[in-house]
Structure 1
Amino acid sequence: MKKILLCDDDGDITTLMQIIISAMKISFSSSNRITDITGLVLMEKPDLILMDLWIPDIGGKEAVRELKANEQTTQIPVLLFSATDKLEEICAEVGADGCIKKPFDVKDFKLRVKEYL
């Protein structure tokens, strides 16, 4: 079974994502703060990471940079998951594999996730 790791500090978003992702028959885990992104990813072993830009402690930008710079995690797709207007620009800047803008259409979200899994 494929697994998604959501890094987002909004409890409502986490609950919604758990419902949507579980309905897709995909395993789900989440973190509401990031202090050691590499350790978390190596422990969770996700097939896809959804990363909020404003996640507490190191922030989404730095987390993506660390993951893409590490040979053990660089191949795991990371999608930035945020409401900022400059999401595509930031995605390219930090080396994320793609992005999903909040708010999102559930059908489009599912298609995007399937594309990266």
Structure 2
Amino acid sequence: MEYYEDLGIRNLVFASGERFPLIAASDTGVPDFEITFYVLTQLRSRNLSTSTITVASRAIMFGLQLLAQMRVDLQERIYNGRLLETGELERLVDGFSWPYEYPMPKGRGSSIEFPPYFPGAKLAL
């Protein structure tokens, strides 16, 4: 749960020039499997633009951060077949109505090489 408090968006750049936003741990850069799987199968498969996928990814990330602050473990709830309670949903909706600014990533304009299982890809910061 505390893991979700420290997430960030990283742009994966493929050799073809295609960009793909990843929600990853800020300290390690390791992407979250379930979120990446959802974005790939539900958003990218519909041929949405990179900007649209980035906006949706930021909303997912922000929602998970709000839930973490509320001490709600969403994965545990899903695995146990439980949903959010009414009060939790109301707090989540209220959280999305707050003005929120995303901090600029450190090292903007630079890139790092991505692990070898994504040949030719790099992370653009």
Whether TM exceeds 0.5 here: the answer is: no
Which TM bucket (shorter chain)? under 0.3
Q: TM-score, normalised by structure 1?
A: 0.25
| Larger gyration radius, structure 1 or structure 2 | 2
TM-score of the two chains, using structure 2 as the length reference: 0.24
